[in-house]
Structure 1
Amino acid sequence: MAFLAYRASTVAAATVVLTLSASPSWAAAANNPPAVPTSLRVGGIACAPGGIFVGTTGPQVTAQFTDADLGMIPGETLTPAFVIWPAGEPARRIDWTATELTYSGTVFTAVPATLTNGQKYHLKARATDAAGAVSAWSPICTFTVDTTRPHAPVVTSTDYPENAPGGGVGITGKFTFAVAGGDRDVTKFRYSTTTSGLREVPVGRDGRATVEITPTMFGTNVLTVQAIDRTLNRSVETNYSFQVIDHTPKVFDQNWGAAVGEPRTIQLSSQVPGTVSFTYRLNDGPSATATADAEGRSTVVVTPDQRGDNFLTVTSQTAEGVVSPETRANLYVPVQVPRPAISSPDLPTDGTPSPAGQPVTIVLRTDSPDVAEFVYSVDFGNTEQVVTADGNGNATFVHTTRPGAEYLEVMARARTADGFESDTVITGWELTPTEP
């Protein structure tokens, strides 16, 4: 009997073993407690030994929560918990939880109370998983609320004085930012210009920072600067306006409608301080020099020698011999080419159709000796031909219409020897188709 009893107990034990091996692998796994929360930040500022300063009475709190069981055990979650209290007053603690996590990550939450400016606080965090396992508390984060905004910074520059001309496009200048109002907690300056995005520069021990800026446009430029303190509070903006000199000389044509061979009075001016002279050249002619007055201006006379484009090239020079970039102004001489009159002695003018398939003489007339030739088309502009004008600016040509044509259209424009053209004129006649 004793033997039988031994066998029975052995079978029972074997049955238990089989039942356990048939269970899911996670059922036998031990539950791991959550890790201690890390990377606490208050108001966007990372917690640090000795404490930090926060610039708002309603800061956001962030922390990193991790649990090795998340994603490994079905149904596992993590509940972030936080507690905050005024330093030295633990009885006034406030506890709250954030939304449950189903994966490890950063939690964003807000302190559920309005804090007091100037007050020091302690904050810590921990996590609880679905099985009730609780992590240890994070190290205490100490912070002080400081909502006082820094004063607007002072901006100076000797290269680009405020509200005064200086420098030039592409010429780098130095600008100095300085804390104001006795501020001692400003950590950096944020700045931008009319043509650039936001940039930041740290504050030196002397409460200053110097940056280099290279203007990309002439005229009024505005430099905007803010002081940012240890709490990330920003000051009111300081707007520093300065004038970037346009180094290219300016050309003003005093009688722009003058014809070829008529003198033109040209006023030259320069914004560059110390300009003493201008060098100028019309088209491919020789260069000449004109003395500038105390205001950087000079008046010269030039005579365009061709119709249409006449380019005046100008540079300025300072007493130190610095030559400006080149200005190229067009002293355009207006050109008026007469439009041709189109007629034919072979085609009636009363609208009566003429037989198609006949040669007809086309007359192009301007009565202008300036006209050297005509450009015409008899196929609705698909192709163009050229006929030379006589000494009076007139021409004729003969065109044979197609027998089946119902209409003859002539398009023509006059052209001078130097390539200027009139507007296009179109004239047409009805035709009576004939048998080929």
Structure 2
Amino acid sequence: MTTILAVRARAAVAAGLTLGLALLGAAPASAVGGTPVTPTELFNDLQACSTDQNAPVYTSGRGGVQLEGIAGSTDTGVSWVDEQFQLWPVADPTQLITGSDLYAFPGNEASVTLGNGALTDGRTYAWQARTVDAGGTASAWTAPCYLAVDNTFPSQAPTVTSANYPQGQADQGGAPIQLSFGANGVSDVVGYEYSWDGEFGVIGGAVMGPHGIPQYQDPFGPDARFTVRADALGGSGSVSLLPPGNSRYLRLTVRSLDRALNWSPPTVYTVYIKPDFPAVVRQGHSPQFGKPAPFKLTADPGVQAASPVVSFTVQHWNGQTQSTETVPASGNGTAVVTETLDGAYGDRLLVSTTSANGWVSSQAWWDNGYLDTSPTVTSDVYPENGSGGGVGVPGAFTFTPKINGADVASYTYSVNWGAPVTVQAGAHGVAQVSWTPDQSDWYDLEVYATTKDGVQLAPYDYYFAVN
């Protein structure tokens, strides 16, 4: 989520406490000099304080509330001061809760946490801060800030509906999913959070700016992701979503949030989208190995009708490497792409479309099946799966390609997993080597070809015994 600077209300300096509250005692501070300055930049639970009793900041008070402000002194040489805080329920100012930061650095945020386990759900509280120097001289209290404690989670899961992708049927893809979220009778819902994977992250919070001033992250701000603000307190929200990835069975998990960001039970909304992958058709006859082959790509008609397809994404897997390219689509949602089919075990294409509105289709798969590119190995002296020759008797082994011989540059072989030896291929891609055994045993001759384009083909294991 992009950080958004929260709107801040700078507390006005109060002439004095008029609520009849006792002053807090002075605390240790650095050498007396200058005059204490009433704290500024007041925040509660990282949100800017509200000086309007009718518009308090809502927060969860389960672990107390964090209060902070910047204390100061007119003497720039003062190293630290005592920043004092007091908190009380608006309905009963006699229930005063106090605390202080004895070593607050002037010009930087200092904080305390008050009311852990002592704050009542549903109550509105006021709080103030002041600066006290080493001599006990105190600044004026700040104007009261107001917060409301809300520890109650929304009791009902939100409602979720879609006009163009209703549940319980297969829907044509191509258009963004229009979704409406409802509070389901919960009166203090302020927004909704949604997730495609069923997991929710941390919402709200702040990053620290200069001097430790919180920069609150509005969970429903214009740059927020995966949330939407309700159109009114307890109202509804709407979003237009494009599905993630290539899956066409979708599960969207939604929960509502109240003013203190307490969350409701979740609602799961499922969408099933009809197959919307493009057609992939190889043109002409089967190409020779390593030769270019043209393919015609055609967008799904329903996807094309919803929003014109602007491109095709083609992933080519050949068993050893993977490449991806984007091919522009014509106005009628078609394109022609040429791919060199040089996979040692065959080739696979995965093709999807991207529409003008951002919709990405599911992937079409095309492959040419299993392709045997291993060489043929023959020997008159040492027949395959048989025995022959003998110790010290040389044998010739001939390597012949199964693919177009003109494409083969060399063969690499090893005997019983020993050091590999590479020999150049001759005319028509054929090569012959001579090997002499030094003992009677079974042997494994493993050999593979490499093409002139540097593609390593499939290996072949030739088993034989020496008499």
2:376 corresponds in structure 1 to 339
**Counterparts of 1:100 and 1:396 in 2: how far apart (Å)?**
86
For residues 234-255 of structure 1, give each alpha carbon's deviation from its aligned partner in whole angstroms, at most 9, with x where no partner exists: 222222222233312799xxxx
Shift of 1:214: 0.5
Instruction: Summarize the Cα distance change of 1:199–1:312 in structure 2 as closer, same or farther, 3 Å threshold.
Output: closer
The percent of aligned pairs where both chains have the same amino acid is 22
Say if 1:154 and 1:271 are closer, same or farther in 2 by CA, change over 3 A: farther
Contact 1:122 1:142 in 2 (8 A): yes
Q: Does 1:128 align with 2:128?
A: no
Work out whether 1:148 is the aligned partner of 2:152.
Answer: yes
Post-superposition offset of 1:161? 2.1
Q: Which residue of 2 aligns with 1:256?
A: none
For the 8 Å contact 1:188–1:200, the answer to whether it is kept is yes
**Displacement, 1:157?**
0.8
Contact kept, 8 Å, 2:191 with 2:256, in 1: the verdict is: yes
Q: CA-atom RMSD, angstroms?
A: 4.9
Amino acid in the other structure paired with 1:342: S
- Check conservation: 1:371, 1:414, Cα contact below 8 A: no
Once the two structures are TM-superposed, the CA of residue 94 in structure 1 deviates from its matched residue by: 2.5
8 Å CA contact 1:78–1:100 kept in 2: the answer is yes
Mapped partners of 2:350, 2:152: distance in 1: 58
Deviation per residue, 1:305-327 (Å, 9 max, x gap): xxx96999999xxxxxxxx9884
Letter in 1 for 2:243: P
Q: 1:172 aligns with which of 176, 181, 189?
A: 176
Tell me if 1:203 matches 2:230: yes
Please say if residues 69 and 129 of structure 2, whose CA atoms lie closer than 8 Å, have aligned partners that are also in contact.
no
**Corresponding position: 1:228 with 2:257:** yes
CA contact (8 A) 2:446 2:460 kept: no
1:139 Cα shift? Answer: 0.6
Counterpart Cα distance in 1 of 2:134 and 2:196: 54
Distance 1:160 1:125, change over 3 A: same
Distance 1:42 1:333 in 2: 66
Q: In 2, distance between residues paired with 1:376 and 1:40?
A: 77
Letter in 2 for 1:200: T
Q: Structure 1 residues 38, 233: closer, same or farther in 2, change over 3 A? A: farther
Q: Distance in 1 between matches of 2:403 and 2:227?
A: 66
Give the equivalent residue in structure 2 for 1:244: 273
Q: Separation in 1 of the partners of 2:253 and 2:166?
A: 15
Deviation at 1:36, TM superposition (A): 1.4
Q: Secondary structure at the match of 2:139?
A: coil
Note the residue ranges of structure 1 that are not aligned, 5 or more in a row.
1-28, 252-269, 274-307, 316-323, 355-360, 390-394, 402-409, 430-436
Contact 1:146 1:231 in 2 (8 A): yes
Tell me how far apart the structure 2 counterparts of residues 95 and 203 of structure 1 sit (CA, whole Å). Answer: 36
Task: Check whether the contact 1:155–1:177 (CA below 8 A) recurs between aligned residues.
Answer: yes
Task: Describe the SS at the equivalent of 1:62.
Answer: strand
Q: Say which SS state the counterpart of residue 94 (structure 2) adopts.
A: helix
CA distance in 2, matches of 1:370, 1:84: 85
Alpha-carbon spacing, 1:381–1:82, altered in 2? closer, same or farther (3 Å): same
* CA–CA distance in structure 2, aligned partners of residues 111 and 398 of structure 1: 87
Give me the whole-angstrom Cα distance separating, in 1, the residues matched to 2:95 and 2:242: 55
Q: Structure 1 residues 385 and 34 mapped into 2: Cα distance closer, same or farther (>3 Å)?
A: same
Provide structure 2 residue ranges, at least 5 long, that are not aligned to the other structure.
Answer: 1-30, 202-224, 281-299, 304-344, 353-360, 383-387, 415-419, 437-444
The 5-angstrom pairing of residues 76-155 of structure 1 reads 76-113=79-116, 114-150=118-154, 151-155=156-160
Q: Give the drift of 1:119.
A: 2.7
Structure with larger Rg: 1
Letter in 2 for 1:228: L
Q: Please show how residues 154-303 of structure 1 align to structure 2 within 5 Å.
A: 154-162=159-167, 164-168=169-173, 171-181=175-185, 183-194=186-197, 198-205=225-232, 207-217=235-245, 218-248=247-277
Structure 1 counterpart SS, 2:422: coil
The answer to whether the 8 Å contact 1:245/1:271 transfers is no
SS of the residue corresponding to residue 426 of structure 2 reads strand
SS across alignment from 1:137: coil
CA distance in 1, matches of 2:61, 2:427: 85
Aligned to 1:381: 421
Distance in 1 (CA, whole Å) between partners of 2:123 and 2:65 is 17
Indicate conservation of the 8 Å contact 2:34/2:75, yes or no: no
Aligned partner of 2:38 in structure 1 is 36
TM-score, normalised relative to structure 2? 0.53
Q: Cα distance, 1:162 vs. partner?
A: 3.0
The Cα of 1:100 is off from its aligned counterpart by 1.7
- 1:320-335 correspondence to structure 2 within 5 Å: 327-332=364-369, 335=372
Do 2:127 and 2:145's aligned partners in 1 also have CA atoms closer than 8 Å?
yes
CA deviation after TM superposition for structure 1 residue 124, in Å: 1.4
Q: Deviations over 1:354-379 (max 9, x none)?
A: 8xxxxxx947499x999979966799
Q: Distance in 2 between matches of 1:123 and 1:312?
A: 65
State the shift of 1:93 in Å. 1.9
Q: How many residues align?
A: 313
Correspondence for 1:432: none
Paired with 1:120 and 1:412, the residues of 2 have a C-alpha distance of 82
One-letter code aligned to 1:383: V
Higher RCO, Cα 8 Å, sep 6+: 2
